């Protein structure tokens, strides 16, 4: 669903709102968009009002295409609770990490305005309180994959009982 930004109608809406410089070679310049929204609540609210309905539509279409024999389907939704989308799922997983780890990971990926992003999200504790399951992610990608695989196996077994 990350690719929604690089398709119509969002490409045109973003270009119209913030100028043609936010679209480079047919793709959204996420850094340019981020610099406009993450420290500006009004612009962020506008962007979310454009994106969230499209995400819901995309998600519902994806659900209808799942084969009937699918035991587990996984969707990553970064603002699941903030966007009030948790109700679409049988269970939710909050993947949490120490704040210092999260900040370092965001900076290492070149995300500008990390602090501005944090103010619009629930805290790690709030996400954990809303989630059905919580997984700590302070380690390596391989450790996270192992924890997630274990949880999927557990959920699949419970679902089949």
- Angle in degrees, CA 65, 70, 75, rounded to 5: 70
Same domain (yes/no): 56, 124: no
Coil, helix or strand for 134?
strand
Same domain (yes/no): 91, 125: yes
Work out how many domains the chain is built from and give that number: 2
Same domain (yes/no): 82, 149: yes
Q: What is the pTM (predicted TM-score) of this model?
A: 0.73
- Over its length of 161 residues, how does the chain's per-residue pLDDT go in tens digits? 568 888 999 999 999 999 999 999 989 998 899 889 988 989 998 998 998 889 889 888 998 999 988 878 888 887 888 878 888 899 999 999 998 898 888 888 776 555 555 566 788 899 999 999 999 999 999 999 999 999 988 888 766 55
Please confirm whether the linkage preceding 140 is cis (ω < 30° from 0). no
Range of the domain at 118: 68-161
Partners of 94 in beta bridges: 134
User: In this structure, what CATH number is given to the domain that contains residue 49?
Assistant: 3.40.50.300
Same domain (yes/no): 43, 97: no
**Cα 47 from chain centroid (whole Å):** 14
Q: What stretches of 10-136 adopt beta strand conformation (E)?
A: 23-24, 27-28, 93-96, 133-136
């Amino acid at each position: 669903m990350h690719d929604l930004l690089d398709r119509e109608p969002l490409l045109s809406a973003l270009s119209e709102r913030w100028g043609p410089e936010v679209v480079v070679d047919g793709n959204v310049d996420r850094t340019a968009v981020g610099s406009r929204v993450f420290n500006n609540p009004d612009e962020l609210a506008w962007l979310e009002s454009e994106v969230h309905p499209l995400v819901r539509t995309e998600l519902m279409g994806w659900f209808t295409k799942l084969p009937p024999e699918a035991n587990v389907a996984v969707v990553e939704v970064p603002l699941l609770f903030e966007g009030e989308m948790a109700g679409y799922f049988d269970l939710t997983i909050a993947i949490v990490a120490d704040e210092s780890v999260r900040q370092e990971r965001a900076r290492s990926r070149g995300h500008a305005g990390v602090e501005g992003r944090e103010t619009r999200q629930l805290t790690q504790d709030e996400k954990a309180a809303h989630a059905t399951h919580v997984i700590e992610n302070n380690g390596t990608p391989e450790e996270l994959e192992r924890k997630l695989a274990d949880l999927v196996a557990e959920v699949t077994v419970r679902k089949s009982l």
